[in-house]
Amino acid sequence: MSLSSDCLGIPELRGLIRRLPRVFLAHVPTPLDYAARLSRHLGVRLYIKRDDATGLGLGGNKVRQLEFTLGEAVRRGADCIVQGAAEQSNHCRQAAAAAARLGLDCYLVLSGDARGGSRQGNRLLDELFGARIERVETDMGQGIQEAKKAVAQRLLAEGRRPYLIAPPDSLGLGAVAFVDAFLELMEQAREQEVSLQHLFVCSCGATGGGLILANRCLATGLRIRCVSPILWEWPTDQRLAEAANTAARVLGLDTRVTPSEVDYTNAFVGPGYGIPSSEGCEAMSLAARQEGIVLDPIYTAKAFAALAAAVRSGEVPPGSTVLFWHTGGSPALFAFPDSVGA
Ligand SMILES: Cc1ncc(COP(=O)(O)O)c(C=O)c1O
């Protein structure tokens, strides 16, 4: 039976989440920090949700998501996991660390279609965590999913019990993790007596989808803007709505989000996925020099550039209370030294 989201508050949503298989990996709650110098610089009240500090394997948003995807892997009795993405993938690095924590073998299929191909940053950490790496020359969309599936099938034929981290499961369970994260944020905001008006997050999938769903259920009135780091072959708003709706189904909620309700921008991808942009590099330098915060040039710097641009254009009015959700990714910086200006 589906539940109507109209009658749900934080305890009810937590109750639904508690029914799902989960392994505990993240240091939570992550801090909700007031950024005093950046606030003064931008002319708004800026808070930063520090999911770069989730702990495991140098942290990031995916540690939260892996609590549910690997919870499902453990429930199914997997002895290894298969994940794959670009060479400098944060998700792969966090999956490798989580697999090590759980005593599972980790197979990573890494595509060399973006820059940052050196044995540095996330790629180096993958090795440190003991992941078995297979390189493929394919695109980041369907191509990489097919390559991951082929590795899982080979492992199965060898008598292994692989768990493949892939949509739609990873999308829905990843979004559930960010429903949970949103509840955490709401409690912190209440404790700190902060009334948030605008939220910016780098996402075109599970992270944003979960936040949108939880925001809808709790009817907070907070405006969530998802900043996409990539132009997929499918529309960004559809993907975010699909993530929200898959999570709703997993939780047994009858809530449905339509693409037209999704607030997103593709305007900060810059030269392309996996390639630093000049606006992003500027934003990365601003966060580092005003607050000592490390963003990464591929994801979070581009999202912070979107926030800064919205404030400067007046789209976010002066004096507004704004949250930047720092989704991590900092290790990738070491693979892109040229993104740091003098
Ligand atoms: C640092 C960082 N931020 C944001 C995202 C986007 O997350 P999602 O795909 O869950 O929307 C990623 C995805 O890999 C990431 O590594």
285, with CB counted inside 10 A (0-12, 13-18, 19+), is middle
Q: Say which residue the tokens 């829905």 belong to.
A: 172
Alpha carbon 52 to its chain centroid, in Å, reads: 10
Phi, psi of 222, rounded to the nearest 5 degrees: -70, 135
Report pLDDT digits (tens) over 49-74.
Answer: 999 999 999 999 999 999 999 999 99
Percent of the chain with pLDDT over 70: 96
Q: Which atom of ligand 1 is nearest to the CA of 175?
A: 10
Q: How far is CA 239 from CA 100, 132, 236, in A?
A: 30, 30, 5
Report pLDDT digits (tens) over 192-201.
Answer: 999 999 999 9
Report pLDDT digits (tens) over 263-317.
Answer: 999 999 999 999 999 999 999 999 999 999 999 999 999 999 999 999 999 999 9
Protein residue with its CA nearest to atom 7 in ligand 1: 203
Centre of ligand 1 to C-alpha 299, Å, is 7
Phi, psi of 315, rounded to the nearest 5 degrees: -60, -40
Q: What is the CATH number of domain 61-164?
A: 3.40.50.1100
Out of 3.30.450.40, 3.90.1170.40, 3.40.50.1100, 3.40.640.10, the CATH code matching 5-59+169-339 is 3.40.50.1100
268, with CB counted inside 10 A (0-12, 13-18, 19+), is buried
**323 forms bridges with which residues in the sheet?**
47, 199
Report pLDDT digits (tens) over 100-150.
Answer: 999 999 999 999 755 556 789 999 999 999 999 999 988 878 899 999 999
Q: How confident is the model at residue 237 (pLDDT cuts 50, 70, 90)?
A: very high
Please choose from 62, 230, 293 the residue to mutate so as to test ligand 1's pocket, defined by most ligand atoms within 8 A of CB: 62
**Cβ count near 19 (within 10 Å):** 10
Q: How confident is the model at residue 5 (pLDDT cuts 50, 70, 90)?
A: low
CB-hemisphere CA count at 13 Å for 262? 31
CA distance 171 to 317: 33
pLDDT at residue number 289: 98
**Cβ count near 54 (within 10 Å):** 25
pLDDT at residue number 138: 85
Report pLDDT digits (tens) over 77-94.
Answer: 999 999 999 999 999 999
pLDDT at residue number 115: 59
Find all residues with CB under 8 Å of 179, minimum gap 6, and list them. Answer: 13, 17, 210, 211, 213, 214, 217, 247, 251
CA distance 20 to 289: 41
Protein residue with its CA nearest to atom 16 in ligand 1: 90
Numbered ranges of CATH 3.40.50.1100 in the chain: 5-59+169-339, 61-164
Please choose from 48, 56, 61 the residue to mutate so as to test ligand 1's pocket, defined by most ligand atoms within 8 A of CB: 61
pLDDT at residue number 110: 96
Protein residue with its CA nearest to atom 6 in ligand 1: 203
- In the numeric block, which tokens belong to residue 47? 């808070």
**pTM exceeds 0.95, yes or no:** yes
Within 219-283, strands assigned E span 223-227, 264-265
Provide residues with CB under 6 Å of ligand 1.
60-61, 90-91, 174, 202-208, 296, 299-300, 327-329
Average pLDDT, the chain: 96
On whether the CB atoms of residues 44 and 316 are closer than 8 A, the answer is yes
pLDDT at residue number 1: 57
